Amino acid sequence: MKDHKHIEWLHEELPGLVADSTVPAEVAERLRRRYGPVPAGGGKRWAVLIFGILGAALIGAGVILLVAHNWDDLGRPVRTTLAFAPLVLAIALGGWVLARRRDSATWCEGAATFWALTIGATISLVAQIYQISGDTARFFLTWILLGLPIVYLLRSSVAASLYFIGATAWVGCYAGHRQQMTSLWYWGLLALALPHLATLWRGERHGWRASLTGWVLAVCLCIGTGAAFENAMPGAWIGAYTGILALMYLAGVRWFGDAPTLWQRPWQTTGALGLGVVALMLTYLWPWEHIHDTDWHRTMMLGNLLAALLPVSAIIMAGREARVAGWTELDRVMVGLAPLCGVIGYALATTRDWGAFAQAIFNVYLFVLGLGTLIAGFRGNRLGRVNAGLLALSALLVARFFDSDLSFLARGVAFIVVGAGFLVTNVVMLRRKAAVPA
């Protein structure tokens, strides 16, 4: 992947290198041809794009507020016309963009954002005018389904992100309502927008569109998974979350491992952080309590099967990664063990009421995960991985100190040792990186 900043730096340095005979003129010319011209106005394009989307959203909100100023004084036909006016305008704008500005990301994203927001506003206004009853979940479902075609017509990642957020809000509305099958449609709703993501990954895997939708979808999955499996067996979330977070990390490392920035690595970042938090939670006893009291016949069997499918898929994928993983990729193997530990712990807590054993498994797992990540970081000379391993070990140590009856003196000494370990390790790693020639 060509980094625009590096290309710009190269073009700035070449004249000086040629002038002092460091690089021959013909080599400099070949480098210019190899990397192409300096991308013009990259920062300006970003600014135009962001402010274009923001401007579209503000215009839509302003139109609604202007209409609302005299809303009560208007008759029902006038209010209906005004309710549909922004939507008609948005559709017309979208048609014009498709005809004249199809290749402009700014126009496509701005028009798509305006269009998607006006759909929600129109639904709300029509329901208010004609006193149409309904609930919040139905409102979100109608909104996102009507807005889904925008994602494909204008190839809009902002509209896709709004769709994922709306789908997650929809399934969240059913949390606590014990809707046996309804919440499982969440996965079907997400699948409707996945072809757009697949197109992005094939064309611009590290582009801002793929990164934006990747971050939004990853966070939405972390929120929506719990609501989607609420009606499954108590404790089924353990396998579901360890499975889906491990899949996020492994898929991110495999397909986005060469991304140059953190912004372009949403899957492995979200998977690693989420899995660390879940693993730390499972080192306590409370998640494993009352799992053995499950009445299997009163739970949603399809939800149980889907919740089991996630850790099984992660275990299979981790097994394939383990075949080719070296010392520098040891963290892949460690992450892949999380769903296996979740399945074993769940089986122990369900069949034998051995929640304490399941708790012990995850205490050992988090220690091994931190140690494995630390070793992988040292072997690969990666300071970020070293600190991630230290953070996992420190989190486990701190959790167990607060969970025990140790004195303040012992805890204070332990904290000093952990802090010193962070400092010494970072100093050693920085010296090692400085000693390695660029």
SS3 content of the chain, % helix, strand, coil (to 5): 80, 0, 20
Cα distance between residue 258 and residue 1, in whole Å: 9
Q: Does 335 map to a domain? A: no
Domain that holds residue 31: 1-40
Which class for 259: exposed (0-12), middle (13-18), buried (19 or more C-beta within 10 A)? buried
Half-sphere exposure of 234 (CA within 13 A, CB side): 13
Per-residue pLDDT at 436: 52
Per-residue pLDDT at 332: 75
Best CA proximity match to 271, nearest among 300, 231, 242, 293: 242
Per-residue pLDDT at 215: 95
Q: For helices 105-129 and 42-69, what crossing angle results, to 10°?
A: 20
Cα distance between residue 390 and residue 404, in whole Å: 21
Per-residue pLDDT at 153: 94
Q: Does 149 map to a domain? A: no
Asked if 58 and 66 count as a contact pair (C-beta separation under 8 A), the reply is no
Q: Which of the 8 DSSP states describes residue 291?
A: G
Phi first, then psi: what are they for 230, rounded to 5°? -65, -35
Q: Does 31 map to a domain? A: yes
Q: Taking the model in full, what pTM does it have?
A: 0.80
Asked if 202 and 164 count as a contact pair (C-beta separation under 8 A), the reply is no
Cα distance between residue 370 and residue 300, in whole Å: 36
Per-residue pLDDT at 5: 59
Asked if 162 and 147 count as a contact pair (C-beta separation under 8 A), the reply is yes
Tokens 């004195």 label which residue? 407
Q: How many domains does the chain have?
A: 1
Q: Is 363 left (phi over 0), alpha (psi -120 to 50) or beta?
A: alpha
Element (H, E) at 239: helix 236-256
Phi first, then psi: what are they for 300, rounded to 5°? -85, 105
Q: What is the DSSP string of 32-85?
A: HHHH-SPPTTHHHHHHHHHHHHHHHHHHHHHHHHHHHHTGGGS-HHHHHHHHHH
Best CA proximity match to 291, nearest among 225, 366, 215, 238: 238
Best CA proximity match to 145, nearest among 185, 196, 192: 192
Copy the structure tokens of residue 372.
């494995």
Q: What dihedral angle (degrees, nearest 10) is formed by the CA atoms of 356, 361, 366, 371?
A: 140
Q: Does 302 map to a domain? A: no
Q: Does 82 map to a domain? A: no
Copy the structure tokens of residue 14.
């070449």
Cα distance between residue 22 and residue 24, in whole Å: 7
Q: Does 9 map to a domain? A: yes
Per-residue pLDDT at 305: 81
Per-residue pLDDT at 1: 41
Asked if 121 and 86 count as a contact pair (C-beta separation under 8 A), the reply is yes
Q: Does 97 map to a domain? A: no
Q: Does 116 map to a domain? A: no
Please give the chain's pLDDT, 438 residues, in tens. 445 556 667 767 777 777 777 878 888 777 777 776 655 444 555 566 666 667 766 776 676 666 666 666 677 888 888 789 889 989 999 999 999 988 888 889 889 988 998 999 899 888 888 888 778 899 999 999 999 999 999 999 999 999 999 999 999 887 766 555 778 889 999 999 999 999 888 878 888 889 999 999 999 999 999 888 876 677 888 989 999 999 999 999 888 888 888 888 999 999 999 999 999 999 998 888 877 655 555 555 677 788 888 999 998 888 887 776 666 667 777 888 899 999 899 888 887 778 889 999 999 999 888 888 888 777 777 777 888 888 888 888 878 777 766 666 766 776 777 777 767 777 776 776 665 544
